[in-house]
């Protein structure tokens, strides 16, 4: 998918944590739009995308001088109370344009200088490994959550062909964990996976979160239904993997191999 890039100068960059992110004081998006363009991404139905003519995944706004704006907003927010930040709620902070633009890295530099009480970094990109030096400066005030929806590359290629390969994400989780960065694997949404998936994750991380379209799309599954995702499962003859209880296929197996209390479900797995 070809992506068009636009430069913007936002006046603000920290948004209030609401809804699914109400455990956080703020959310932080280095970009608007996301070139990974996952088929199931419900952000395409939110106002940020719904008012654009171009298809979701084909455009990205790059927030220029974002770190300067953040430094000011962060200092102001910290004077008012506890600051917990979710990065990012409607884009991937380590999508390909970040290699060149380094907006996310500049935001991390600002947060390393003036740390928030907690930062949650949500990505599915191996590029996060570039910033291990800054993540380590945040010590236990950070957690990197790597999306790993499945261990099956054939499924990843069908549902999210422009996102990074699964083996690269697993390798990155291992690198981060070995470096001492707090991490979790996040199985969200639940795509069809192999029976070896739980053991594979256990060999890499000590914490995992499972979320699905019904708990995690902010509308009880309505947004996902409008995207026609169910028919993708049915065409593959894997309809049993789609439904409000299908997550248990993975969740129950993970609970068998992970220690008590280390398998989180939906919102609790993203909390500060
Ligand atoms: S990486 Fe996240 S924000 Fe980007 S398209 Fe996929 S689900 Fe949406």
How large a percentage of the chain has pLDDT more than 90?
90
pLDDT in tens, 72-118: 999 999 999 999 999 999 999 999 999 999 999 999 999 999 999 99
- How many whole angstroms separate alpha carbon 97 and alpha carbon 91? 12
Nearest residue (by CA) to ligand 1, atom 8, is: 41
- The strand order across the sheet containing 208-210 reads 14-16, 26-28, 84-87, 118-123, 142-147, 183-187, 208-210, 263-265
Nearest residue (by CA) to ligand 1, atom 3, is: 91
Work out which ligand 1 atom sits closest to the CA atom of 37. Answer: 5
CA 134 to ligand 1 center in whole angstroms: 23
- How many whole angstroms separate alpha carbon 66 and alpha carbon 71? 9
Question: Which residues span the domain enclosing 33?
Answer: 4-270
pLDDT in tens, 200-247: 999 999 999 999 999 988 788 888 888 999 999 999 999 999 999 999
- Ligand 1 pocket check: which of 27, 48, 60, 91 to mutate, most ligand atoms within 8 Å of Cβ? 91
Work out which ligand 1 atom sits closest to the CA atom of 122. Answer: 2
- How many whole angstroms separate alpha carbon 247 and alpha carbon 36? 23
Nearest residue (by CA) to ligand 1, atom 7, is: 41
CA 41 to ligand 1 center in whole angstroms: 5
- The strand order across the sheet containing 31-32 reads 4-8, 59-63, 31-32
What pLDDT score does 13 carry?
A: 98
Work out which ligand 1 atom sits closest to the CA atom of 123. Answer: 1
pLDDT at 51 > cutoff 90: no
pLDDT in tens, 173-208: 999 999 999 999 999 999 999 999 999 999 999 999
How large a percentage of the chain has pLDDT more than 70?
100
CA 80 to ligand 1 center in whole angstroms: 32
- Mean per-residue pLDDT for 155-163? 97
Count: domains in the chain:
1
What pLDDT score does 222 carry?
A: 87
What pLDDT score does 238 carry?
A: 96
User: Is-contact 104 93, C-beta < 8 A?
Assistant: yes
- Ligand 1 pocket check: which of 43, 52, 89, 126 to mutate, most ligand atoms within 8 Å of Cβ? 43
pLDDT higher for 51 or 251? 251
User: Computed from CA positions of residues 173, 177, 181, 185, in that sequence, does the dihedral angle turn out positive or negative?
Assistant: positive
H or E element that contains 85: strand 84-87
pLDDT in tens, 141-153: 999 999 999 999 9
What CATH number does residue 29 fall under? 3.80.30.30
What pLDDT score does 50 carry?
A: 80
CA 87 to ligand 1 center in whole angstroms: 12
Query: CA 108: distance to chain centroid?
Result: 16
pLDDT at 1 > cutoff 80: no
């Amino acid at each position: 998918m070809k992506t068009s890039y636009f430069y913007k100068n936002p006046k603000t960059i920290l948004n209030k944590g609401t809804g699914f992110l109400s455990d956080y004081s703020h959310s932080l998006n280095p970009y608007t739009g996301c070139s990974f363009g996952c088929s199931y991404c419900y952000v395409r139905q939110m106002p940020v995308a719904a008012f654009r003519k171009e298809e979701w995944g084909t455009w990205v706004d790059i927030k220029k001088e974002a770190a300067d704006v953040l430094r000011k907003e962060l200092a102001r927010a910290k004077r008012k109370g506890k600051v917990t930040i979710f990065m990012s709620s409607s884009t991937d902070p380590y999508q390909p344009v970040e290699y060149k633009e380094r907006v996310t890295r500049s935001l991390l530099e600002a947060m390393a200088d003036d740390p928030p009480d907690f930062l949650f970094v949500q990505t599915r990109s191996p590029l996060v490994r570039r910033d291990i030096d800054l993540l380590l400066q945040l010590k236990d005030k950070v957690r990197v959550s790597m999306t790993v929806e499945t261990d099956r590359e054939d499924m990843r290629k069908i549902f999210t062909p422009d996102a990074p390969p699964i083996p690269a994400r697993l390798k990155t989780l291992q690198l981060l964990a070995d470096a001492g960065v707090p991490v979790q694997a996040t199985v969200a949404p639940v795509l069809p996976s192999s029976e070896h998936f739980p053991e594979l994750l256990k060999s890499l991380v000590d914490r995992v979160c499972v979320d699905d379209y019904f708990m995690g799309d902010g509308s009880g599954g309505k947004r996902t239904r409008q995207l026609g995702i169910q028919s993708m499962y049915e065409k593959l003859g894997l309809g049993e993997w789609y439904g409000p209880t299908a997550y248990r296929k993975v969740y129950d197996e993970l609970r068998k191999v992970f220690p008590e209390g280390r398998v989180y479900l939906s919102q609790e797995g993203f909390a500060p």
